Structure 1
């Protein structure tokens, strides 16, 4: 038998299958667009929502490995806790069955015959790609072309292995895998670990089944092994990550191993004792899809009630505890960049968190000039240090993100975020400046006059309100609150001019201490600039809403 003429077309078909799957999933992901941004909000809900979310996301990107790698990234970034991660991991196993159903559709939906539909899909997709000017058209074209290439790939694989039906040696391999559950599981795990895609691994199995080469029992054991093999990608991804991220990858592995052990026992009893004849018959593509789906749904249903025990077991095996949250450390992870739309939303969340830290600083700055408190001075300096670290980390991450192949709209979103980070960081600098003014007052035993204190407090309130509205406008994408910022900033500008004029008159008349008066004027400058940067944030929000 000429194995070269079997292997080369098979490998070529596999390459086309994987490439088609990738460009189709990329098109689906891009088409999902803003809907995927809501993922981070959904993640804050219960574990069942996590299962549904994991299934939906994996159905779109067609890779449980990619979803789990994303989960590892979320946990490493502190966006998701281990309980939420467990739900998404369970759902990912269900979502990955979609590709198998697409491939097996050639058996239960005749109109999806690759020979008939795949070439048409490719040419239709190419026409849309060449003629469509909008991004949405190109995304649709990617989905259609990917769909066609996927079917052409699976057809080529099936045709390539068809001659192996005559090979007794090759057939005996699958018979042995059916008789020996451990070998079957190891074979499925090894192949999936090598190509790092359970969807592609199932596709290979289906192409062999289409040629009438795979016994029912062997297929069941191989499918269970494939679920273990798909954990390799996440395990590799967790290398170098924080302890919790490694635990998330270990949870994925434990979940699939426990499910495999349980269902292997049932399979062995069925094929060895209850109905040995059932395991000898050849399986078809649709039956593989059914078995794959039943195994993954069954494992999820069975282990969902005890999922917290799996989390505890993963922690115990990995000898890890929950990491302490470092507020000054950027909670972003490059693994999430595999899905830019979610990575951008993660940056938005970090910028909002940075904004909240500065809002807290501004509240302390409102009182530090009037009540002697070295603790508040130290607090403001420490907060500024945190914000500097966040600013540098977020900026570095956003620049890396903008270097990826993302849409023009996404590039604009990143640019707006970078500008907002800069504005928030500058406001933090001014809060630190105010703390230095306060420290100077403490050391020289200086105080503002009663009138000066009242006027400065009024200015502080206006500017703090302006910034608070800016952060709320950023979080909520609220034009109404952005307009409030502009209103407050205008008030701050007018107030700064008025208060400066009145204060200079007091200095001229000798009604206040000169050194305290200089601090008063310097503070006015800082506050007016805080309101200017708050307005910049509001204008960035309104530009994004155009």
Structure 2
């Protein structure tokens, strides 16, 4: 038989794989998740931020004049990370397709049927796992948000949160990717992330313990109940629960299919030789388990297959445990891939997962014979080898947790040693929006809310600066406001896009209302930024024309400025903390702002009539009052919504 031939051609946008052997040839042409227009926009924003960095000092804003970050290199580094992620994923897909193609078409007819059954059973198992996990993610979404909000105060609570969330959604990879998203969004510290990841490793062992129960003859019953709930229930929650039942049943259907095929393989000479080569080396078993999990992207699938082979007598217990150790290394690749295009700190979070599991594996390999005795001591003889394999998985992660949980600061320190802090990190935007959180709408809404708070900070800084410009004009401060306005515009656009993605998910009525509130809030904040930019244009023109205002006009603008500044401060308090009294106070101040605007207009007319003021100065004066009053209107819009939401 001719060897398989792989031809790989990769570009930044496309991936082409050609697989050839014997008379068969497969061509795969795939365009991977590209929206380069949007990507350019994001990186253009990064370039802009490199040269327009701001830091808060008290109530005012100062410019960081010196920055050594190179925008071109930062953009190239980010693009390279994304391309590396795409290439690795493409290579994994290509390898899997090539292996499936060879096993399916390059084998004799009898062996081909076995291959179909093995991979068919594996496909059913993986599909069942995916359905169950996605259903539990939605069912437990709000609960997950509360758990992360409540239990990340210290490492013990974070550890408990990791166990709980992973037990709820039945996927440590999903939990770890979420944690990477939190760190990337600056919603979680690296030490907090470490404790949650350690807990997630224990939570994922529950799947193996469930599979070890001999309940496969109930699999069809679970599927039947799930289908009935899906077709007959009007409740979205019950339909999702039905989906979880179907997924749970399919796990055991897939397991049974693989068991039927694996048992006869004990007589195959090729399989016997392969198993013999693994039995002689723990490291070889770890390596095979790692590679298998990397390809399948599911540690639960590797555990299930290992348990199936062990229960069928195809592999012995020590080999099973070695494969399980490798499985724990392979599962870290998912988070590493997810972190490649993310910020440096998110990569550190994924690296913690890898370092933790690798160190734990090395400890167990050193004491491997004693570890096997400990597992067998915890496993009754009548429980069977499948239970022993599940226990080996659980004990490994529990022992690791006891060793490394007190050492989470050390794990974080090691990550900083491998990925040191760079100057560029100081000049990256701090967006809270992370696509990894979109799978749990309640978490994504929380991220969008925090991003709106960040947008509120930016708009507030511009308002503070522009009101100072009215008192004393400064060209450098005016330039900073204009630069910040570009960031405000792009941030609002990102929020709207993110909210649109959330809306496409399965969300509750309450979550839908929250999306509407956030959408209006982002829009009003962006309009505040627009009005600040308009005021800068008016003041710049006035300065260039050397037009001045009289004392009475200056005092009138000063009173309106103080009122709108107080309105904005109270609006932020009402929106961010749900303070209804602050919202009602904003509505009262809106009346005062309107009164001041009318009084100033009347006084201006009197000054024109008496000749104290000329028409050119009057034009600028009226225009400024109009813009300030519009900022007050946007504050009122947000306050009204906050007052309604706090009922």
What does residue 204 of structure 2 align with?
96
How far is 1:161 from its partner? 2.3
Kindly indicate whether the alpha-carbon contact (under 8 Å) linking 2:137 and 2:439 is maintained by their aligned counterparts in 1. Answer: no
Kindly indicate whether the alpha-carbon contact (under 8 Å) linking 2:185 and 2:430 is maintained by their aligned counterparts in 1. Answer: no
How far is 1:169 from its partner? 5.9
Query: In structure 2, do the counterparts of structure 1 residues 55 and 132 end up closer, same or farther at CA, with 3 Å as the change threshold?
Result: same
Between the aligned partners of 1:418 and 1:149, the Cα distance in structure 2 is 40
Q: Deviations over 1:258-293 (max 9, x none)?
A: 110011111145569999xx9x99962222222211
How far is 1:130 from its partner? 1.8
How far is 1:384 from its partner? 1.9
Kindly indicate whether the alpha-carbon contact (under 8 Å) linking 2:180 and 2:350 is maintained by their aligned counterparts in 1. Answer: yes
Between the aligned partners of 2:565 and 2:241, the Cα distance in structure 1 is 47
With 284-293 and 259-268 compared, the bigger mean Cα shift is at 284-293
How far is 1:44 from its partner? 6.3
Kindly indicate whether the alpha-carbon contact (under 8 Å) linking 1:212 and 1:283 is maintained by their aligned counterparts in 2. Answer: no
What does residue 264 of structure 2 align with?
163
Q: Deviations over 1:223-250 (max 9, x none)?
A: 1110101122222223333333333322
Residue 571 of structure 2 is aligned to residue 470 of structure 1: yes
Residue 122 of structure 2 is aligned to residue 14 of structure 1: yes
1:37 equivalent among 145, 148, 173: 145
How far is 1:421 from its partner? 1.6
With 241-250 and 398-407 compared, the bigger mean Cα shift is at 398-407
What does residue 532 of structure 1 align with?
633
Between the aligned partners of 2:124 and 2:248, the Cα distance in structure 1 is 11
Between the aligned partners of 2:152 and 2:535, the Cα distance in structure 1 is 37
Query: In structure 2, do the counterparts of structure 1 residues 240 and 29 end up closer, same or farther at CA, with 3 Å as the change threshold?
Result: closer
Secondary structure of the residue aligned to 1:332 is coil
Between the aligned partners of 1:173 and 1:543, the Cα distance in structure 2 is 68
Residue 85 of structure 2 is aligned to residue 85 of structure 1: no
With 371-380 and 292-301 compared, the bigger mean Cα shift is at 371-380
What does residue 306 of structure 1 align with?
407
1:428 equivalent among 529, 542, 549: 529
Residue 519 of structure 2 is aligned to residue 519 of structure 1: no
How far is 1:43 from its partner? 8.0
Pairwise mapping of residues 46-445 of structure 1 onto structure 2 (< 5 A)? 46-106=154-214, 113-116=215-218, 118-165=219-266, 170=271, 173-174=274-275, 176-268=277-369, 284-318=385-419, 321=422, 323-326=424-427, 328=429, 330-403=431-504, 410=511, 413-445=514-546
Secondary structure of the residue aligned to 2:425 is coil
More helix as a share of residues: 1
Between the aligned partners of 2:206 and 2:578, the Cα distance in structure 1 is 35
How far is 1:419 from its partner? 3.0
Q: Deviations over 1:186-218 (max 9, x none)?
A: 111111111011112112222223334442212
Query: In structure 2, do the counterparts of structure 1 residues 288 and 491 end up closer, same or farther at CA, with 3 Å as the change threshold?
Result: farther
Secondary structure of the residue aligned to 1:45 is coil
Between the aligned partners of 2:443 and 2:423, the Cα distance in structure 1 is 24
How far is 1:481 from its partner? 4.1
What does residue 109 of structure 1 align with?
none
What does residue 25 of structure 1 align with?
133
Query: In structure 2, do the counterparts of structure 1 residues 273 and 317 end up closer, same or farther at CA, with 3 Å as the change threshold?
Result: same
How far is 1:391 from its partner? 2.1
Query: In structure 2, do the counterparts of structure 1 residues 340 and 171 end up closer, same or farther at CA, with 3 Å as the change threshold?
Result: farther
Q: RMSD between aligned alpha carbons?
A: 3.4
Secondary structure of the residue aligned to 1:234 is helix
More strand as a share of residues: 2
How far is 1:37 from its partner? 3.1
Query: In structure 2, do the counterparts of structure 1 residues 139 and 484 end up closer, same or farther at CA, with 3 Å as the change threshold?
Result: farther
Q: Deviations over 1:371-421 (max 9, x none)?
A: 344454334233323212322333333344445565666555444433322
With 184-193 and 296-305 compared, the bigger mean Cα shift is at 296-305
How far is 1:454 from its partner? 3.3
Secondary structure of the residue aligned to 2:251 is helix
Query: In structure 2, do the counterparts of structure 1 residues 493 and 208 end up closer, same or farther at CA, with 3 Å as the change threshold?
Result: farther
Between the aligned partners of 2:337 and 2:256, the Cα distance in structure 1 is 32
Query: In structure 2, do the counterparts of structure 1 residues 423 and 160 end up closer, same or farther at CA, with 3 Å as the change threshold?
Result: same
Kindly indicate whether the alpha-carbon contact (under 8 Å) linking 1:243 and 1:323 is maintained by their aligned counterparts in 2. Answer: no
By relative contact order (CA 8 Å, sep 6+), the higher-ranking structure is 1
Kindly indicate whether the alpha-carbon contact (under 8 Å) linking 1:251 and 1:314 is maintained by their aligned counterparts in 2. Answer: yes
Structure 2 unaligned residues grouped into runs of 5+: 1-108
How far is 1:366 from its partner? 3.0
Query: In structure 2, do the counterparts of structure 1 residues 460 and 159 end up closer, same or farther at CA, with 3 Å as the change threshold?
Result: same
Between the aligned partners of 2:583 and 2:233, the Cα distance in structure 1 is 36
Query: In structure 2, do the counterparts of structure 1 residues 392 and 523 end up closer, same or farther at CA, with 3 Å as the change threshold?
Result: same
Secondary structure of the residue aligned to 2:319 is helix
Between the aligned partners of 1:140 and 1:273, the Cα distance in structure 2 is 38
Between the aligned partners of 2:644 and 2:257, the Cα distance in structure 1 is 50
Kindly indicate whether the alpha-carbon contact (under 8 Å) linking 1:214 and 1:283 is maintained by their aligned counterparts in 2. Answer: no
Q: Deviations over 1:10-44 (max 9, x none)?
A: 32222222222222222221122323334664586
Kindly indicate whether the alpha-carbon contact (under 8 Å) linking 1:329 and 1:390 is maintained by their aligned counterparts in 2. Answer: no
Query: What TM-score comes out, normalization by structure 1 length?
Result: 0.87
Between the aligned partners of 2:366 and 2:241, the Cα distance in structure 1 is 44
Between the aligned partners of 1:251 and 1:230, the Cα distance in structure 2 is 13
How far is 1:426 from its partner? 0.9
Kindly indicate whether the alpha-carbon contact (under 8 Å) linking 2:590 and 2:636 is maintained by their aligned counterparts in 1. Answer: yes
With 206-215 and 425-434 compared, the bigger mean Cα shift is at 206-215
Secondary structure of the residue aligned to 1:427 is helix
How far is 1:424 from its partner? 0.6
How far is 1:428 from its partner? 0.9
Between the aligned partners of 2:500 and 2:543, the Cα distance in structure 1 is 42
Q: Deviations over 1:39-88 (max 9, x none)?
A: 66458633333333332222233222222233333333443343333223
How far is 1:542 from its partner? 5.9
Query: What TM-score comes out, normalization by structure 2 length?
Result: 0.74
